[in-house]
Amino acid sequence: MNAATTQEQRQSISEDDVTIIIGLEVHVQLDTKSKLFCGCSTEFGAPPNTQTCVVCTGAPGSLPVINQQALRLSIKTGLALNCEIARFTKWDRKNYFYPDLPKGYQISQFDKPICGLGYLDLFDQRDKSKTRRVVLERAHLEEDAGKSIHDESKQGGNSRIDLNRTGTPLLEIVTQPDMRSAAEARAFLNELKLILTYLEVSDCNMQQGNLRCDGNINLHIRVDGQQIATPIVEIKNMNSFRAAERALDYEAVRQLELWKQNGLTISDAPKQTRGWDAATQTTTLQREKEASADYRYFPDPDLIAVTLSEEEIDSIRSEIDRLPAQWREELIGQHGLKPYDADVMVGQGRGVIDYFLNVAEGCGNSKMAANWIGQEVLRFLNESEATIESYPITSTQMTELLTRVVGGELDQTRAKEVLEQMIEFQLEVQSAMDKLGIKPVDNQEIEALCQQLINENPQVIEQIKGGNAKAVGALIGKARKLNPNASPGLVKNTILKMVGG
């Protein structure tokens, strides 16, 4: 491994010789009311330095106390991610100096993380009928640092520190380098976020910094029968999943080009930290480190270690409801949804699934409910950036509308007009139908309508008589113009019966 290569050898490699190796570190802010080791609020958006105390600002003599809820949420996450849960876990001080870290150390977990090996299965991005497993190395609990606020005006100015976030509980989830493309890394992040939101352990709001991710990436390249690895780069500042995908894609290309020029491998060059610059869509060098920095970890003498019993872990396990993968299976297996539709619905969150289940059960037709929610409801939510909770039509109203479609009182086209009226004028189903002048059409009216169509369209009738029953389709649009309340299905069947086709 990592033998020297010539310029000629390096230029001759093809795309198939290159494997992208990606691992991720994700910091998730746990949804607790108070901080990890003190009672200060974690509420976002308060004026700077109003949510601090002697503990989270590190005053001498103050003592931290562990937040039990943070511990529970970490264990819940670990169980959902198939991790081994430690029966014994402890706290360590990670020492470094930085303005936003008032104590001069961060309380973290070094050698006894709360969650050990686990995994997450993803759809294979190249073939969605298969899955790929990403192994999780560990997940540990730690406190967040504060936030530096820099004056970026042209004149320059002061940098200030806001310590409101200092001591907020974070779960750091570390994967093994198991992802093989930037798209796969993004799929991992999507699925992880979905699981975390289904578990209600974090809102994963990236704008507020409640989910942050760093990526480690390098390339394995086959060249003349041997395999080399390029130097590992850690990318920071990937502040959205789309940014993460772009940054990793960019970095894979950059590393290949660089290696073709200089031939440097993992043993020739130190690990670099690079930052993603959204403005230029490039990564730029932040720092190089020879070896992993020496944080002089040692057990925190102010905190006692945590011992967990089987009963405690089982009680947390019993709180875990169905996860996204189980919901997909259920929607496909029990409600007949197509895998794609099930995936879209699950991706929208628990609220949409509950809405669907209510409507499907209420109207008695899962497929119709899935189509309407997939097309009408989700389109509305996407266009208006509303959530299912603020969608103007309740699941009860939607059930009533679709019950009328199932019962034949409305066809799909008219039902969509009714839905539009309901949304626009905040009407119930019946009032919207009245407003549109929709009323039941009796058999006599239908027969008179069909007779008129037969009289006025002799050519079509000849075709039907000649055995082409499909020709009747040409009359449906005409029927709608004559009487929009006449059901197309009924008109079709009546004409065929009258013509004897």
**Interacting residues toward Zn ion by CB under 5 A:** 38, 40, 53, 55-56
Q: What is the DSSP letter of 17?
A: G
163: left (phi over 0), alpha (psi -120 to 50) or beta: alpha
Least distance CB 167 / Zn ion (angstroms) = 6
Cα distances (Å, whole numbers) of residue 264 to 100, 186, 413: 36, 28, 64
Please state the closest distance from residue 62 (CB atom) to Zn ion, in A.
9
What residue ranges in 6-91 does DSSP mark as E strands? 18-29, 88-89
CA distance 332 to 107: 45
65 vs 293, which CB is nearer to Zn ion?
Answer: 65
- Joined together, the tokens standing for residue 380 give 């509305």
> What are the Cα distances from residue 45, in Å, to 48, 51, 142, 204, 344?
8, 10, 21, 16, 32
- What are the E-state strand segments in 264-327? 271-277, 282-289, 298-299, 306-307
Looking at the Cβ atoms of 56 and 182, the one nearer to Zn ion is 56
- Backbone phi, psi, residue 32, to 5°: -110, 155
Nearer to Zn ion, 54 or 320 (CB): 54
Pick the closer one to Zn ion by CB: 55 or 419.
55
Residue 117 CA, distance from chain mean position: 22
Cα dihedral: 84, 87, 91, 92 (round 10): -60
The least CB distance from residue 163 to Zn ion, in Å, is 9
Give whichever of 56 and 475 is closer to Zn ion, judged by the CB atom: 56
Phi/psi class of residue 237: alpha, beta or left (left: φ > 0; alpha: ψ in -120 to 50)? left
Cα separation of the two ends of the chain: 77
The answer to whether the Cα torsion of 181, 183, 185, 187 is positive or negative is negative
- In the bound state with Zn ion, the residue whose beta carbon lies nearer, of 249 and 300, is 300
Nearest residue (CB) to Zn ion, 55 versus 247: 55
Residue at 402: amino acid letter: L
The Cα–Cα gap between 414 and 385 comes to: 26
Residues 6+ apart with CB under 8 A from 234: 214, 215, 216, 271, 272, 273, 274
Tell me the two tokens of residue 355.
């809405």
DSSP calls for 469-497: GGGGHHHHHHHHHH-TTS-HHHHHHHHHH
Work out how close the CB of 107 gets to Zn ion at its nearest, in angstroms, rounded to a whole number.
12
77 or 108: CB nearest Zn ion = 108
Nearer to Zn ion, 60 or 156 (CB): 60
Instruction: Count how many Cα atoms sit within 13 Å of the Cα of residue 259 in the half-sphere of its side chain.
Output: 31
CB of 138 to Zn ion, least distance (A): 27
Q: Which of these, 51, 74, 54, lies nearest to 65 by C-alpha position?
A: 54
- The nearest distance, CB 53 to Zn ion, in angstroms, is 3
> Which is nearer to Zn ion, 56 or 471 (by Cβ)?
56
* C-beta of 64 vs 215, nearer to Zn ion: 64
**Rounded least distance, CB 37 to Zn ion, Å:** 8
Least distance CB 206 / Zn ion (angstroms): 25
CB of 69 to Zn ion, least distance (A): 15
* Cβ(359)–Cβ(419) below 8 Å: no
- Tell me how far, at minimum, the Cβ of 208 lies from Zn ion, in Å: 19
- Closest approach of Cβ 142 to Zn ion, in Å? 15
